[in-house]
Amino acid sequence: MFCKDHIAMREKLEQVGLRVTRQRLMIANLLFSKGDRHVTAEGLFGESSAMAYPPSLATIYNTLRDFAEKGLVREIALYGGKVWFDTQTGPHFHFYLEDSEELFDLPEELIPQFNIPAPPGTRIAGIDVVIKLERLSDQETPSSSTAAA
Amino acid sequence: MFCKDHIAMREKLEQVGLRVTRQRLMIANLLFSKGDRHVTAEGLFGESSAMAYPPSLATIYNTLRDFAEKGLVREIALYGGKVWFDTQTGPHFHFYLEDSEELFDLPEELIPQFNIPAPPGTRIAGIDVVIKLERLSDQETPSSSTAAA
DNA sequence: ATAGCTGCAAATGCTTTGCAAGGCC
DNA sequence: GGCCTTGCAAAGCATTTGCAGCTAT
């Protein structure tokens, strides 16, 4: 199991032309071996710090940027300071819980279809949809909380 | 004309409970007297610096934050470092030109309808849609650049 | 009068970079 | 061997904050 993943990650890196190093393999494993993930550099650093020979924070930043440039992950449009990355690179939607800084995907079946023409002289490089959520206090009725745009 | 705007801005501030000051009036005028705008703190600072007695950069930051808290402007979900604010506070869509850091609204007629239920225990506080654009080099065909999500 | 603003400069937080040492092909 | 990566520390931005002085109410 470890071996299979390990080889898969190695191939992932080779395919995009990134040299295979211990640090990059470790980061790739954290990112890609447990399904879709939404991460920040700090978050990944925290996770890897628990392991043996963790990469430095600078390396995490650099690696995430490299991965994003090569299309292995994609940057997410979000509010405020931190940069988030998503292992799912195609267009899809996000719920964002502001209070707790949690980010998660919309279930596939809720994603609406839309077709938008690119302005002349441009092409669409990506779409981000962020639906900002507020936690309801217990009193408030959870009814009719529906987005219309 | 100046007088009418001036009074309108004064009322805007009073309505949300912000003390009416020269600096806030100046910023409100920049923001609200020429239709919808998308701005960064630095951008506004640049504009106001050309005028007499410009507010300090810190005041621009603080004022934008205050305005956002009071609902006069809204923060936009975007990639990377800078925070953008929009004078249009309702849900709507944006095109973002990465090369030149330009941000503009989708024409109303292109905005698709969608209805998304909020997860239990939450309510939808806002929706951001960002369509990232790349400028086409002259060779590339401008055909079929259409977003499907 | 006094609570709230402003401006400056310093502090903070996230991210990048320069450079010397180490690792991959 | 040579080039790419890494790690550390330092630098770089965008943004916030502390505080002394000012101002709207």
Chain B residue with the nearest C-alpha to that of A98: B125
Q: Which nucleotide lies closest to B83 by the C1' atom and the CA atom?
A: D14
Distance, Å, A55 CA → D6 C1': 8
Please tell me the predicted confidence (pLDDT) of residue A144.
Answer: 46
Residue type, B74: R
List B122's β-bridge partners, or say none.
Answer: A135
- DSSP reduced 3-state for B115: strand
A92's enclosing H/E stretch is strand A92-97
Answer for B67: CB within 7 Å of strand C.
no
CB contact under 8 A, B79 and A79: no
What are the two backbone dihedrals, phi and then psi, of residue B84, each rounded to the nearest 5 degrees? -110, 145
pLDDT in tens, B69-123: 999 999 999 997 899 999 998 878 899 998 888 898 887 777 777 788 889 999 9
Please tell me the predicted confidence (pLDDT) of residue B107.
Answer: 75
Name which of A77, A83, A125 is nearest B128 (Cβ-Cβ): A77
User: What pTM value is reported for the model?
Assistant: 0.86
Task: From residue B148, give the alpha-carbon distance in Å to each of A42, A73, A129, B83, B105.
Answer: 33, 20, 13, 27, 18
Higher-scoring residue by pLDDT: B115, A127: A127
* B40: Cα within 13 Å, side-chain hemisphere: 13
Interface test with A, best of B122, B136, B140, B144 (most A CBs within 10 A): B122
Share of chain B above pLDDT 70, in %: 89
Range of lowest pLDDT (A62-71, A102-111, B121-130): A102-111
